[in-house]
Structure 1
Amino acid sequence: MNAGIIFIYVLVGLWLASIIWAVNDIAKHPYKKKIKKLIWTNIVVVFPFGGLIVYYLMGRKNLSEA
């Protein structure tokens, strides 16, 4: 197998693991407003690349304040 293909598989695996981690983190977080959970889950799933970056930078802090 080509080393480039293996590298791509590793990157895709890490990306999928990051999405699963983010959705799991959102699901476990207790909030008073359930709509925030729905909004952040949709952002991460619908916009996988940008959604993950936005969640890591802003979402966790935003959920802590809820």
Structure 2
Amino acid sequence: MKQQQPKDEIFELLYRDFMDELEASNLLYVNDTAGFNRWYKERLLKLCHQYKILMMHQYLETS
């Protein structure tokens, strides 16, 4: 049986990755607020989707 990380720890890794990308994107979109808002919305949706998949996998493994 493989050892799994707790969901909170995995979410923390996903969130930390998101925050790193957010910091880098601030430099890319310095004068483009609309572009930043678009990027932020897409990336936040991706984070939510990754977490949803994580929760579904955990549910399937425990049921």
The runs of at least 4 aligned residues of structure 1 exceeding 2 Å deviation read 30-34
Q: Show the counterpart of 1:34.
A: 33
Cα distance in 2 between the residues matched to 1:17 and 1:35: 24
Q: Show the counterpart of 1:17.
A: 16
Cα distance in 2 between the residues matched to 1:50 and 1:17: 15
How much does 1:27 deviate?
1.2
Higher normalized contact order (CA 8 Å, seq sep 6+, divided by chain length): 2
Unaligned runs of 5+ in 2: 51-63
Determine what percentage of the aligned residue pairs are the same residue: 4
Which structure's CA Rg is the greater one?
2
Cα distance in 1 between the residues matched to 2:39 and 2:29: 13
Amino acid at match of 1:29: L
Cα distance in 1 between the residues matched to 2:29 and 2:40: 14
Cα distance in 1 between the residues matched to 2:37 and 2:17: 18
Q: What is the root-mean-square deviation in Å for CA atoms of aligned residues?
A: 2.6
